[in-house]
């Protein structure tokens, strides 16, 4: 099927959400039919252990717009999204959690923002949030830090409800726990028109949250990786080589200075202190050694980068071809 025959692909990652699925699909159907959208819903079952997959197969039997992907085991939300993105054929791709916390009523406006206002990505913002405090407070800090270091002015990076232009989802690779940073990945790929829409949020109706308290620690570590990858991912030597050279030079110069000073004083017949009696000497030697190590880390990074399959992956937005042979 051609891309442009489907207006919207709704990608729903799910893990043990059997109770919510029929209700969610009915609601999506209603919104789509009211707005006369041609749509598909891609349910990605991330290795559920309950009856979720049976429910998805049931739903697919009664609604021809439903597609399903089932993982062999639980790989995580990022993997589920990635796989759904690969499958999505719609002009606009909308992701949504399966637990009925995100409202399908937001779909028409999100669609409009992407198709008419020209956004590459529109992220939901759960301004009024129905989650426990243990989740909302750390999340505020997390988002503030993410805004600060990425320069992307979103209030809710990790909102499950997002809309994308098809090209965006085909161009980014969500892996590990990177689903929290999709706007950052998109911006790095060159999609700079990132918008935000306040969305309605509801308390979880069935089941339990699939993420525990570790989410915050992991979130911060991933934030550091993302920033590192974006600044130095393509040229680790700039970071490590720079720091290494600096430490090597400072340490080396200090060592030479200590030895030279001693020799000079000796030649003048002054009292001298053994070079190895001075703490500064050990600090200097340490700097030299660390400098070499850092330099090596940068060099190894470059070697590894050379073998990376996407070392030359560029995204082409448009092209003009000359018809002449
Ligand atoms: N999810 C998933 N794989 C996982 C964990 C979660 O596909 O390993 C799905 C889950 O079924 C839900 C969405 O990701 O549709 C968001 O998860 P949850 O509602 O537990 O997160 P929270 O709302 O607590 O942030
Ligand atoms: Mg939820």
Give the number of other Cβ atoms within 10 Å of residue 86's Cβ: 13
Atom number, ligand 1, closest to the C-alpha of residue 98: 15
Alpha-carbon distances, residue 162 vs 113, 184, 287, 309 (angstroms): 11, 13, 48, 29
Please answer whether residues 103 and 28 qualify as being in contact, where contact means their C-beta atoms are separated by less than 8 angstroms: no
- Residue with the smallest CA separation from ligand 1 atom 8 is 76
Residue whose CB lies within 8 A of the most ligand 1 atoms, among 97, 179, 207, for a mutation test: 97
Q: DSSP E strands: which ranges in 39-178?
A: 39-45, 66-70, 92-95, 121-125, 162-165
The contacts of residue 16 (CB under 8 Å, 6+ apart) are 48, 49, 50, 52, 207, 210
pLDDT level of residue 1 (50, 70, 90 thresholds): very low
Atom number, ligand 1, closest to the C-alpha of residue 210: 20
- Residue with the smallest CA separation from ligand 1 atom 23 is 209
Res 4 pLDDT > 50: yes
pTM, 2 dp:
0.85
Q: DSSP E strands: which ranges in 16-96?
A: 39-45, 66-70, 92-95
- Residue with the smallest CA separation from ligand 1 atom 21 is 209
Mean pLDDT, residues 122-132 taken together: 93
Pairing of strands 39-45, 8-14: parallel
Atom number, ligand 1, closest to the C-alpha of residue 13: 7
In the reported structure, the alpha carbon of residue 169 is separated from the centroid of ligand 2 by a whole-number distance in angstroms of: 22
CATH level 3 topology of 8-232: Spore Coat Polysaccharide Biosynthesis Protein SpsA; Chain A (3.90.550)
Res 169 pLDDT > 90: yes
Nearest-angstrom CA–CA distance, 99 and 55: 14
Interval 269-318: pLDDT, tens: 999 989 999 999 999 999 999 999 999 999 999 998 888 877 777 888 88
Interval 97-110: pLDDT, tens: 999 999 999 999 99
């Amino acid at each position: 099927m051609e891309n442009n025959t489907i207006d919207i692909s709704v990608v729903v990652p799910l893990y043990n959400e059997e109770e919510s699925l029929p209700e969610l699909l009915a609601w999506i159907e209603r919104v789509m039919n009211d707005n006369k959208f041609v749509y598909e819903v891609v349910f990605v079952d991330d290795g559920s252990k309950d009856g979720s997959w049976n429910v998805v197969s049931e739903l697919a039997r009664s609604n021809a717009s439903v597609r399903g992907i089932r993982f062999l085991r639980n790989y995580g939300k990022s993997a589920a999204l990635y796989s759904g993105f690969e499958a999505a054929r719609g002009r606009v791709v909308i992701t949504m959690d399966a637990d009925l916390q995100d409202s399908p009523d937001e779909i028409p406006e999100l669609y409009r923002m992407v198709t008419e206002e020209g956004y590459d990505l529109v992220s939901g913002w759960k301004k009024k949030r129905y989650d426990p405090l243990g989740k909302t407070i750390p999340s505020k800090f997390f988002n503030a830090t993410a805004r600060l270091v990425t320069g992307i002015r979103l209030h809710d990076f990790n909102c499950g409800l997002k809309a994308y232009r098809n090209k965006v989802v085909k161009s980014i690779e969500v892996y590990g726990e990177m689903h929290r940073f999709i706007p950052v990945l998109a911006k790095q790929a060159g999609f700079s028109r990132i918008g935000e829409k306040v969305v309605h949020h509801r308390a979880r109706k069935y089941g339990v949250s699939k993420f525990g308290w570790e989410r915050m620690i992991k979130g911060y570590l991933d934030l550091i990786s993302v920033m590192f990858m974006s600044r130095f991912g393509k040229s680790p030597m700039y970071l490590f080589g720079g720091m290494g050279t600096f430490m090597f030079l400072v340490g080396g110069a200090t060592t030479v200075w200590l030895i030279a000073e001693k020799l000079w004083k000796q030649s003048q017949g002054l009292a001298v202190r053994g070079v190895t009696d001075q703490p500064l000497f050990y600090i200097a030697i340490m700097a030299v050694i660390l400098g070499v190590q850092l330099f090596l880390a940068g060099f190894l990074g470059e070697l590894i980068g050379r073998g990376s399959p996407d070392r030359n992956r560029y995204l082409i937005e448009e092209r003009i071809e000359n018809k002449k042979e």
